[in-house]
A and B are shown apart, each in its own frame.
Chain A
Amino acid sequence: MRIALRQVLAILLLALLPAAATGMWHPRRPAWQSDEVTLPAATAWGRDVLWIDARSDADFARGHIPGAASLNEDHWDERLPGVLDHWDTTRKIVVYCSSLSCQTSHDVARRLRDEASLPNVFVLQGGWEAWLKRTP
C-alpha cells in the first residue's frame, strides 16, 4: 500500500511541470479571466453592448434580444461583415445562445476574438433563457 501511495505521489508531481509549461506557452492556453458576463452586468453597459445571437436562424426568428445581430457558424462569412459594420472600439460584444449549457456562444466568441481580432468579447451566462427569466 505504501508503495502504491508513493507511486501516486510521484505521478501527481510528474504531471505538474508539463501542466505549468502548457499554461505558460501553449498557443491555445485558456485565459485566467472568464469571458462570461451575467445579464445584469451586461445590461448595465447599456448602449455600449453589441448583442450577438449565436443560435440557429429558426431560433433567432422566434425571438431574440432587441437589437441583437444573428451570427452563427452556418452563416459566418456572409454575416460577419455586417456585424463588424455595427461595431466600434467603444462597444462590448456579448454573445449568447440558448442556455447555460449551450456551447455555440463560446465558439462564436472565440472566433470573433481569434479571427476578427475583436477585443472585449463576452459570453452571456445563461443565454437566451436568462433573458427570458429576467425581471423587467
Chain B
Amino acid sequence: MSRASQRIVAALIGLLFMVTGVLKLRDPAAFAIDIQNYRLLPWTWDVIVALYLPWLEIVCSGALLLRIGYRGALAICALLLAGFIGAYGSTRPRGLDIACGCFGHGIHRGYWPVVLGDTLLLAVVIWLLRADFRPLSPVIQSNGDVKETP
C-alpha cells in the first residue's frame, strides 16, 4: 500500500481515538465506573485511569493527525488496544457482562463485536507501525541521481 494510503488510514485512526477520548472526557466519573466494572483495579486506580486515558488518546490522535511523534503515537495506540483487548476479553470468562466504556458511558456494543473489532484495529496499527519502520528503497533515476522511495 502506498504512503498516501497509509497516511489516510493513520488519520482515520487518529480521528477515531480523538472521538473516543473526547466522549470519555464528557463524564470522567461515569468512565471511572465503567473501568470499575472490569473488576481489575482498586478504585483509586480506576479514577487515575479514568482521568489519564482520555487525554492519552487525545494526545495520540493529535500526534497521528499532525504526524508529530507519529511512531510513538502508533506504539502507544497498539499498547492501549492490546491492553484493552486483554482486559475486556477477560470479562466474559469471569462472568461479567459489561459495557466496554469505549464510546462513553452505558453504550454496550456486545462482547464479540468489541473484541473482534478492536483486534482488527490493533492489526491495522501494527501494520502501520511496521510500514513506518520499513527502510526506503533507493531508485536510480534516468539522470543518475539516487532517489529514495517507499
Contacts and interface: CB of A to CB of B under 8 A. Distances in A.
A20 to B, nearest CB: 8
Nearest to B37: A101
B128 interface: no
Interface residues of B, number: 39
A109 to B, nearest CB: 10
A50 B131 CA distance: 60
B59 A7 contact: no
A14 B56 CA distance: 8
Given A15-B52, A23-B51, A100 B96 contact: yes
Contact of B69 (A11, A28, A100, A106): A11
A30 B45 CA distance: 11
Contacts, number: 97
B32 interface: yes
A32 B44 CA distance: 6
Given A6-B72, A30-B50, A101-B96, A11 B63 contact: yes
Given A29-B51, A103-B99, A11 B29 contact: no
Interface residues of A, number: 33
B3 interface: no
A8 interface: yes
A15 B29 contact: no
Interface of B: 25-33, 36-37, 39, 43-44, 46-47, 50-52, 54-56, 58-60, 63, 69-73, 75-76, 91, 96-99, 106
Interface of A: 3-12, 14-16, 18-20, 22-23, 26, 28-34, 36, 100-101, 103, 106-107, 110
Given A29-B28, A32-B44, 19 more contacts: A3-B71, A6-B72, A7-B63, A7-B75, A11-B72, A11-B76, A19-B55, A19-B56, A22-B28, A23-B51, A28-B28, A30-B29, A30-B32, A30-B51, A100-B39, A101-B91, A101-B98, A106-B33, A110-B29
12 contacts: A7-B70, A7-B73, A12-B56, A15-B55, A15-B58, A19-B51, A28-B27, A28-B30, A29-B29, A30-B51, A34-B36, A101-B98
